[in-house]
């Protein structure tokens, strides 16, 4: 796995709206990153392949492609669905991707599904499980495989591995690369977890082969990894400080959701990509300086002044990693109403999970949803939709969630009359 530093250069995630702005930014895009699951027409068990139209457009771009999985993460103790792993690999091969990656998160706990990427439980047990799951991916194809540094809105727990230590242990144990999502790590710092500098200091920097940058915003005392808007100047400054220390970095990728791509337009995106090129052009530090920067540091203490952390403390948990995963998944999917440790971050994750699950209904049930809101008002309609979330199994597949909603409405004649 030899390559020259920044051989792939600066790139962008290929999501909806990119084709509309492509002509105005293509001169600044060296590489395109693809989330293959977003291009599958329906759930994985249908055996469907990448949709032909976006596949043809991606091939027409004439840029190297890299794959980034968003459906079958490797960070939990329950192995990702083998059918999903196999189809992810098939999509990666179809695209001819230079390398591929997945999240250090989890969305399965036993046979229960989250419908959202949940933060990992950072224990030695979870590290060993992640190493096994990465091996499952790599047995299918030997192209370079990377794990993405996670976003975590939960408070740190005494006895767990530090954020950087957790990622480093997995990358070293699995002998794989690291996708350093700098916006994720900065988000974690802003919400009271380990500082970016201490996180990076714990990593084997020669394993950082890709970097993500993005935008976000504040809400209810938390900073969200929302992939909305341009890159914050403070994050750009962090990237300028860190990128020269990464001796094998291949690509720096900008992430933004489709509505943000469209809102920024070619002018805004041109500015973002140009600023990323400036960082990519910074001279690398000598290897001796970069190596010195990787010396492990003691994890930073909680940032007690951070709104998301103030007044809260974490204690050692004696329950198993598997039980902690199951508890968080059940709470965020509304199958339970409490958690053993009171952590407002779990409430935030549940809200984000609700939004993700309900967003899958919009395409097939927009008229019904509008009718519910018009008849009941926003607050009462939200309460009704929460009833649906409680009663249904979570899914990331639009057709599965759509069918569940149709079946749920069928046994609610009171609602059917409202939306008729």
Query: CA-CA distances (angstroms) from residue 383 to 333, 358, 378, 389?
Result: 15, 12, 9, 10
Whether the CB-CB separation of 118 and 329 falls below 8 Å is answered with: yes
Name the band, by pLDDT with cuts 50, 70 and 90, for residue 212: very high
Q: Which single residue is written with the structure tokens 């970069």?
A: 290
Q: Which single residue is written with the structure tokens 């993700």?
A: 356
**Domain coordinates of the chain in residue numbers?**
9-293, 360-420
State the pairing for strand pair 100-103/145-148: parallel
For helices 398-410 and 378-391, the axis angle rounded to 10 degrees is: 100
- Write out pLDDT tens, residues 239-277: 999 999 999 999 999 999 999 999 999 999 999 999 999
Average pLDDT for 366-392? 95
Rounded Cα distance, 306 and 125, in Å: 30
Bridge partners, 103 (sequence order)? 148
Whether the CB-CB separation of 57 and 87 falls below 8 Å is answered with: no
Residue 401 DSSP SS3: helix
Average pLDDT, the chain: 91
- Write out pLDDT tens, residues 79-133: 999 999 999 999 999 999 999 999 999 999 999 999 899 999 999 999 999 999 9
- Region for residue 96 given its phi and psi (left: phi exceeds 0; alpha: psi -120 to 50; beta: otherwise): left
3 state SS for 352-416: HHHHHHHHCCHHHHHHHHHHHHHHHCHHHHHHHHHHHHHHCCCCCCHHHHHHHHHHHHHCCHHHH
* Residue of 363, 411, 371, 370 lying closest to 387 (CA atoms): 411
- CATH topology for the 9-293 domain: TIM Barrel (3.20.20)
User: pTM of the prediction?
Assistant: 0.91
* Residue of 316, 351, 337 lying closest to 159 (CA atoms): 316
pLDDT above 80: residue 350: yes
Rounded Cα distance, 49 and 58, in Å: 15
- Write out pLDDT tens, residues 175-184: 999 999 999 9
pLDDT above 70: residue 299: no
End-to-end CA distance of the chain: 60
Structure tokens at 200: 């990076």
Structure tokens at 380: 């009462």
């Amino acid at each position: 796995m030899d390559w020259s530093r920044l051989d792939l250069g600066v790139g962008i995630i290929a999501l909806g709206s990119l084709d509309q702005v492509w002509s105005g930014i293509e001169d600044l895009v060296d590489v395109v990153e693809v989330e293959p699951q977003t291009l599958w027409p329906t759930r994985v068990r249908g055996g469907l392949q990448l949709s032909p139209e976006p596949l043809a457009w991606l091939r027409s771009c004439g840029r190297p492609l890299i794959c980034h999985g968003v459906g079958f993460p490797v960070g939990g103790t329950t192995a990702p669905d083998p059918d999903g792993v196999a189809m992810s690999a098939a999509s990666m091969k179809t695209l001819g991707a230079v390398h591929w990656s997945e999240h250090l998160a989890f969305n399965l706990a036993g046979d229960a599904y989250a419908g959202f990427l949940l933060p990992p439980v950072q224990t030695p047990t979870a590290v060993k499980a992640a190493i096994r799951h990465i091996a499952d991916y790599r047995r299918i194809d030997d192209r370079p495989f990377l794990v993405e540094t996670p976003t975590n809105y939960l408070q740190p727990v005494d006895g767990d591995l530090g954020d950087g230590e957790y990622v480093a242990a997995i990358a070293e144990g699995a002998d794989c690369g690291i996708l350093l999502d700098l916006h994720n790590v900065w988000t974690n710092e802003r919400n009271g977890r380990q500082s970016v500098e201490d996180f990076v200091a714990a990593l084997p920097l020669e394993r950082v082969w890709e970097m993500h940058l993005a935008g976000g915003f504040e809400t209810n005392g938390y900073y969200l990894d929302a992939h909305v808007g341009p890159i914050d100047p403070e994050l750009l400054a962090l990237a300028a400080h860190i990128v020269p220390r990464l001796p094998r970095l291949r690509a720096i990728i900008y992430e933004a959701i489709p509505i943000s791509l469209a809102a920024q337009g070619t002018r805004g995106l041109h500015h973002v990509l140009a600023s990323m090129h400036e960082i990519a052009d910074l001279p690398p530090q000598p290897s001796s300086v970069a190596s010195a920067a990787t010396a492990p540091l003691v994890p930073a203490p909680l940032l007690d002044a951070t709104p998301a952390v103030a007044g809260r403390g974490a204690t050692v948990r004696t329950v198993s990693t598997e039980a902690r995963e199951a508890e968080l998944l059940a709470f965020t999917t509304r199958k339970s109403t409490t958690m053993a440790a009171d952590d407002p971050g779990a409430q935030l994750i549940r809200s984000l999970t609700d939004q993700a699950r309900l967003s899958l209904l919009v395409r097939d049930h927009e008229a019904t949803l509008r009718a519910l809101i018009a008849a009941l008002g926003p607050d009462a309609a939200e309460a009704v939709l929460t009833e649906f979330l409680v009663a249904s199994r979570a899914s990331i597949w639009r057709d599965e969630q759509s069918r569940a909603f149709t079946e749920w409405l069928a046994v609610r004649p009171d609602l059917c009359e409202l939306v008729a």
